[in-house]
Amino acid sequence: KSDLSHFHVVLDQTRIRNNCIMTSKYNIITFLPVNLFEQFQEVANTYFLFLLILQLIPQISSLSWFTTIVPLVLVLSITAVKDATDDYFRHKSDNQVNNRQSQVLINGILQKEKWMNVRVGDIIKLENNQFVAADLLLLSSSEPHGLCYIETAELDGETNMKVRQSLSVTSELGDPNHLAQFDGEVVCEPPNNKLDRFCGTLYWRECKYGLSNQNMLLRGCVLRNTESCYGLVIFAGPDTKLMQNSGRTKFKRTSIDRLMNTLVLWIFGFLVCMGVILAIGNAVWEREVGFLFQSYLPWDPPVDNFLFSAFLSFWSYVIILNTVVPISLYVSVEVIRLCHSYFINWDRRMFCNRSSTPAEARSTTLNEELGQVEYIFSDKTGTLTQNIMTFNKCSINGRAYGERHRAQPLDFSTWNPLADRDFCFYDASLLEAVKVGEPAVHEFFRVLSLCHTVMSEEKSEGELVYKAQSPDEGALVTAARNFGFVFRSRTPSTITTQELGKAVTYTLLAILDFNNIRKRMSVIVRTPEGRIRLYCKGADTVLFERLHSCSHDVMNITSDHLNEYAGDGLRTLALAYRDLSEEQWAEWAERYRGADKAIDCREDRLAAAYEEIEQDLMLLGATAIEDKLQEGVAETIAILSLANIKIWVLTGDKQETAVNIGYSCKMLTDDTTEVFIVNGHTVQSVREDLRLVARERMMESARTRDGGKEVETQWAPPTSVLESISGEFALVISGHSLAHALEADMEQEFLETACACRAVICCRVTPLQKAMVVELVKRHKNAVTLAIGDGANDVSMIKTAHIGVGISGQEGIQAVLASDYSFSQFRFLQRLLLVHGRWSYLRMCRFLCYFFYKNFAFTMVHFWFGFFCGFSAQTVYDQYFITLYNIVYTSLPVLAMGIFDQDVPEQRSLEYPKLYEPGQLNLLFNKREFFICIAQGIYTSVVLFFIPYGVLSQATQSNGVPLADYQTFAVTTATALVIVVSVQISLDTGYWTAINHFFVWGSVGAYFTILFTMHSSVLFNIFPKQFHFLGSSQNTLAQPVVWLTIALATVICIAPVLAFRFLKLDLKPQLSDTVRYTQLVQQKKWKPGGRAALGRLGRGGSRRSGYAFAHQEGFGELITSGKNMRLSSLALATFASRHSASWIDTLRKKKHNPHSTPPTGDSSPAPSLVLISETNTF
């Protein structure tokens, strides 16, 4: 090991961590105690333990202990098995990560080592496209100047590449031998979760070097465009920023869970009330009757007065009435959820063929909440989009080219050996135009091949690889390449292209770099012929203002084209050029040098200078790039919004790109009344923006309300004016405004405004802000939120939301690991919610309703019997019946219903998204429904007690033996109960599969089988003490009167329910899903794709710029400085070194922006220009 290097963390952290991560909870030894401890933290389990203890007290014990311990042990073991399985998979995934290979420098030799064996202080070697194994201090790199490029998508979701640079002292330690000698000492801050901050000092050779985030490679990053690099492990394993950020997953509970817990508490209260009533009854009875009855039944020794007897009676009743909160409830709920999760895993329609990834329900406890989602928070890149840009269309000199009809893609390779094979274009006329030699077309592609900051790499002749800083720029340069204007290489002062097979070298005079304010970039080049020309590309809105008057005709036509592109959601850029005379250039260059050297207001002065030269441009045309959406995104969003789900896009991307995606995925359409953009930097401006939005909307809504009253929400009366707003509004808010909007005094305002909008797009948000937005909605809206994302930057949001969904099948797995559900395509979300979620919710609700019903029906019989047995806590049923009722006789049919039930076929739920609404409004199981179930249960118990009471008290067998003995009564009531609840489940089951049949009939069959077995002489002979009910069933069930009683009780219990349901279906059919949506079909036929057509028609006069560009500023400087070029030329190297200080400073300034805004720099526009005087170059 590289034992010479020392690691030191300020604050007394002396332990040397290895890189092993552990997310599992148990090992073999700790499993049992820890798991049991955890399980008994559940109130329910502790409660049953308490009951068990109560049952061991003979004076109280109204039931044998086994009635509780059997279900308790069953429940505990099922849960334990589930926990063990979960933990096993965690162990497995840990192992997989821990056993990844990395190369560690040991004794000057590179050796393969597992990730988990990497220790702090090790020096490891990374190769291109490898994941960084731990948080590393970059020591040296294969690239010049110790530069290396990383992609931090895993960490913060930003897909553009970032530059990291080693300290110049260490970057000289090129080869392993030197590195092995490295004996620096690093003192740094303790492990923390701040991704954009690192602060430390390297002590080496008596010198101190400051370390910043600029020198760090964090675990989870991927090395890009860098052959290899060496890094010193600073933080490993759980100390890494990635792991520090992941934290322990909070246990998520569904709203049904919470409701269930509340209800269970209420039931406890109810239980206590019943106990008190019966205890009072007992006191009265003992005083009035029991006291006198002592000649036959003396009080038990500890009882000396009626009050004490009542006290004992209370506890006895607590024991026998405990079945109103059956222990099997929790385990049944878990089983149902587990099965639903498997259905999600098994769903072939959520299987992605391309990545061969099935959907996965990683959390098995949230399924029914999928049926209640109201807000979806989606990441953009990688989730909505594929992060692939394609050059789709263009307009050149007023003529539109692009895919008219998707035929065969053009074959470029035949005439252009340098063409990129992956590039697809469908319009042959453009290629013709190039071949014919139309000057505008040539100039158009020349702009694309020259005006950019792409780096090229030519590994072998003709094999060009472009390293584009933003994918859209890459797409443009690639397009130019395929149309014969191949960008081949650049030096800080030249650009070499191959124009239609002919090599041309342009002298690069200046790059007028891109930034968000300028929304354009230009290059000034000297052509080989000696002319000086400025090429510019940028937002149409910006460029059109700067055109020469003679371009206006072209501009009008191009504008129409741009309009069309914008409507299709394409990202557009306008292209223009300007010829400069030698004098103009010289004069301008002079002024620029001045601006560049200015000490104060350098940026403003530079911007002014740029402005000056970018005038009188000649418009060439426009490009339209498609930010490829994931498959079916627009349709999914359309369906989800029809299901009344609000979709918010939270992205780290820029405003334009985000809005653009909003349009292309039809979140924003031209139907959208207005898009409000909140982009203020100060509290006041944000507040003003929000207020203005709100006010406008209020006026708008007032207007619509005067117009027609049809906009009326049926379910919830609007709590504020804003909620009743009908217009289609959209809100776009940027990260820095969001920071203000999320402050305590403004968040309410923000939330109201945002919730009144149909679409909300938050751009340039940090991972933390994503979580805060989700948290805000979660806290104030009392709605179920779902967050979906693919990158590590979405982790916090995924964890915060009620339901987190990760996009799997891509490189990063952080989001997936943090998620509750994962699948590989955004479009599967509709199926997850509308089909699986809806069903889960429906099933769970039906299950719970029935479950509470059946237990109340079962238990309350004891209560009524109490009035006839001196409140002595005598059970009505045999204790075996009590033990088995919940776990054998009635569990499986309701479980089958909870697992398999379907009210409408799956395609219907997708066809009629409105079917999703009951879940959002929480209509199927709420406190009201609960009371209805309880009432039905109590009614049933009344019937089940008083009908046998009425009949049997008088009845005799046909041989004259009275039927009113206790055992006959018990068997009759129990049988009636089993039959009634079985008939009820048959009514509740809407989808009778073979399994349902088997379980329903099987349960009834099992009841009779077990009944007869337990009442048989065989069992009695073996256990004479245990089976008192010998012969009861044979005796009882042979009596026609008993069957008549059971039939009577069944009809009395079921007929009202049946009648009620029928009448409800008939009178209020809108509550029945199927019927409601049949009506809906008649009103409005929903057809997929219909919306898109509509959107285009309604576009009308509104003009919208489709401009969007993922580019960042700063790269122009990087290029002209030559820093990022692998150059052997000494001259260039010297040139570069002269400039190095300045650009690194600029870069550092930006990265060290103290605010938490993403380091991509935005708050203070810093236009940068690097002026290259020709004398400088050679």
Partner 1 sequence: MKSEGEFVNQPDNTAFTQQRLPAWQPMLSAGIVIPLFTLIGLAFIGIGVALFITSQNIKVQELDYTGTATSSPCFQCSGLSIQNCTCERNFSLSELFEGPVFFYYGLSNYYQNYRQYGVSKDDYQLSGDTTYFLKPQSYCSPYQYSNNKPIVPCGSIANSMFNDTFRLYLLVNGSRKQVPFDGKGIAWWTDYNIKYRNPSPVNGSFAAAFDGTTKPVNWQKSAYELDPTDQANNGFLNQDFLVWMRRAALPNFRKLYGRITGGDYSQGLPAGNYTLQISYNYPVLSFGGTKKVVFSNVSWMGGKNQFLGIAYLVIGSLCVVMAIVMLIVYAKYKFPDNDDA
Report 1075-1094 residues binding partner 1 (CB under 8 A).
1075, 1078
Among 14, 301, 529, 549, binds partner 1 (CB under 8 A): 301
Q: How far is the CB of 705 from partner 1 (least distance, A)?
A: 32
The annotation status of 770 as a binding-site residue, yes or no, is: yes
Q: How many CB atoms lie within 10 A of CB 354?
A: 9
d(CA 236, CA 238) in angstroms, rounded, equals: 6
Under rule CB under 8 A, residue 289 binds partner 1: yes
From the list 643, 970, 976, 981, which residue makes contact with partner 1 (rule: CB under 8 A)? 970
Pairing of strands 207-212, 199-204: antiparallel
Residue 673 lies near partner 1 (rule: CB under 8 A): no
Query: According to CB under 8 A, which one of 418, 441, 963, 1170 is a site residue for partner 1?
Result: 963
Segment near partner 1 (CB under 8 A), from 175-183, 233-241, 378-386, 950-958? 950-958
Annotated catalytic, 903? no
Q: Report how far residue 153's alpha carbon sits from residue 801's, in angstroms, rounded to the nearest whole number.
A: 21
Contact 570, 622 (CB under 8 A): no
CB of 1049 to partner 1, least distance (A): 10
CB 497 within 8 A of CB 450: yes
Site stretch for partner 1 (CB under 8 A), options 425-433, 751-759, 776-784, 870-878: 870-878
Residue listed under structure tokens 């498959």: 631
Degrees, nearest 5: CA angle 857-858-860:
70
Is position 92 annotated in a ligand binding site?
Answer: no
Contact between 302 and partner 1 by CB under 8 A: the answer reads no
CB 132 within 8 A of CB 221: yes
Is residue 1178 a contact point for partner 1 (CB under 8 A)? no
* Contact flag: residue 11 with partner 1 (CB under 8 A): no
Contact window for partner 1 (CB under 8 A) among 294-302, 456-464, 613-621, 640-648: 294-302
Sign of the alpha-carbon torsion through 949, 951, 953, 957: negative
Contacts of 1115 (CB under 8 A, 6+ apart): 453, 469, 513, 514
Binding part of the chain for partner 1, among 102-110, 157-165, 915-923, 1063-1071 by CB under 8 A, reads 1063-1071
Q: In the set 14, 41, 356, 1128, which binds partner 1 (CB under 8 A)?
A: 356
The H or E element containing residue 286 is: none
> Of the two residues 524 and 895, which places its CB atom closer to partner 1 in the complex?
895
Asked if 1114 interacts with partner 1 (CB under 8 A), we say no
- Determine the residue type at 284: V
Q: φ, ψ for residue 399 (rounded to 5)?
A: -115, 135
381 is in an annotated binding site: yes
**Residue among 345 and 489 whose Cβ is closer to partner 1:** 345
Give the total of residues touching partner 1 (CB under 8 A): 98
CB-based contacts of 772, cutoff 8 Å, min separation 6: 742
Q: Judged by CB under 8 A, does residue 292 bind partner 1?
A: yes
* Cβ 1006 to partner 1 shortest distance, Å: 22
User: Within the chain, what is the greatest distance between any pair of CA atoms?
Assistant: 128
Is position 603 an interface residue for partner 1 (rule: CB under 8 A)? no
Instruction: Please state the φ and ψ torsions of residue 690, each to the nearest 5 degrees.
Output: -65, -40
1058 binds partner 1 (CB under 8 A): yes
Phi then psi dihedrals of residue 535, to 5 deg: -110, 135
Two tokens, residue 881: 């019946």
Identify the three-state secondary structure at position 527: coil
**What is the distance between the alpha carbons of residues 712 and 198, in angstroms, rounded to a whole number?**
54
Site for partner 1 contains 409 (CB under 8 A):
no
307 lines the binding site for partner 1 (CB under 8 A): no
Backbone CA torsion sign across 490, 495, 499, 503? negative
Segment lying near partner 1 (by CB under 8 A), choices 440-448, 797-805, 949-957, 1096-1104: 949-957
Which span sits near partner 1 by CB under 8 A: 724-732, 967-975, 1108-1116, 1145-1153? 967-975
**C-alpha to C-alpha distance for 13 and 29, rounded to whole angstroms:** 29
Touching partner 1, residues 973-992 (CB under 8 A): 990-992
- The nearest distance, CB 787 to partner 1, in angstroms, is 25
Kindly state whether residue 967 participates in binding partner 1, applying the rule CB under 8 A: yes
Contact flag: residue 942 with partner 1 (CB under 8 A): no
Which residue in 128, 527, 957, 1129 binds partner 1 (CB under 8 A)?
A: 957
Residue 949 is a binding residue for partner 1 (CB under 8 A) = yes
Residue 427 assigned to a binding site = no
Interface with partner 1, residue 998, by CB under 8 A: no
Q: Cβ atoms within 10 A of the Cβ of 481, count?
A: 26
* Strand pairing category for 821-823 and 360-361: antiparallel
How far apart are alpha carbons 1126 and 1144 in whole angstroms?
Answer: 17
Instruction: Give whichever of 247 and 950 is closer to partner 1, judged by the CB atom.
Output: 950
Closer CB to partner 1, 493 or 810, in the complex: 810
Binder of partner 1 out of 1044, 1093, 1131, 1141 (CB under 8 A): 1044
Binding-site member from 93, 228, 1034, 1163 for partner 1 (CB under 8 A): 1034
* Beta carbons of 156 and 792 less than 8 angstroms apart: yes
For the window 834-863, what string marks contact with partner 1 as x by the rule CB under 8 A? -----x------------------------
Q: Does the annotation list 793 as a binding residue?
A: yes
Task: Tell me the HSE value of 593 on the side-chain side, using a 13 A CA sphere.
Answer: 9
Long-range contacts of 816-820 (CB under 8 A, 24+ apart): 816/362, 817/93, 817/246, 818/246, 818/249, 819/362, 820/252, 820/361, 820/362, 820/363, 820/366
Task: Based on the shown chain and the rule CB under 8 A, indicate whether residue 902 belongs to the binding site for partner 1.
Answer: yes
915: number of Cβ within 10 Å? 22
For residue 998, what are its two tokens?
């088997």
What secondary structure does DSSP assign to 870-917, as a single string? TT----SS-HHHHHHIIIIITHHHHHHHHHH--SS-HHHHHH-GGGGH
CB of 902 to partner 1, least distance (A): 7
> Binding residue per annotation — 514?
yes
State which of residues 192, 201, 527, 993 lies at the interface with partner 1 (CB under 8 A): 993
Tell me which of 201, 644, 704, 874 binds partner 1, using CB under 8 A: 874
Collapsing DSSP states into helix, strand and coil, what is residue 1021?
A: helix
What residue type is assigned to position 433 of the chain? A
Q: Strand 385-396 and strand 674-678: pairing? A: unpaired
The residue among 62 and 478 lying less far from partner 1, judged by its C-beta, is 62
Q: Which residues, 6 or more positions from 1059, have their beta carbon under 8 angstroms from its beta carbon?
A: none
Please state the closest distance from residue 1008 (CB atom) to partner 1, in A: 18
Whether 719 has a binding-site annotation, put simply, is no
Whether residue 794 is annotated as binding a ligand: the answer is yes
Tokens of 401: 């080219």
In the set 82, 1028, 1151, 1152, which binds partner 1 (CB under 8 A)? 1028
* In the complex, minimum distance from the CB of residue 899 to partner 1, in angstroms, rounded to a whole number: 10
Check 156, 257, 347, 379 and give the catalytic one: 379
1074 contacts partner 1 (rule: CB under 8 A): yes
Beta strands 759-763 and 729-734 are: parallel
> Cβ closer to partner 1: 4 or 961?
961
Q: Which of residues 333-352 bind partner 1 (CB under 8 A)?
A: 342-343, 345-348, 351
Burial of 670 (C-beta count, 10 Å sphere; 0-12/13-18/19+): middle
Would you give the binding string for partner 1 spanning residues 42-81, x where CB under 8 A is met? --------------------x-------------------
Q: Is residue 1063 close enough to count as binding partner 1 by CB under 8 A?
A: yes
Q: What are 628's two structure tokens? A: 């490829």
- Strands of 6-9's sheet, edge to edge? 6-9, 185-188, 199-204, 207-212
Residues labelled catalytic: 379
Annotated binding-site residue numbers for ATP: 379-381, 473, 514, 537, 571, 651-653, 764, 770, 793-794
Annotated binding-site residue numbers for Mg(2+): 379, 381, 790, 794
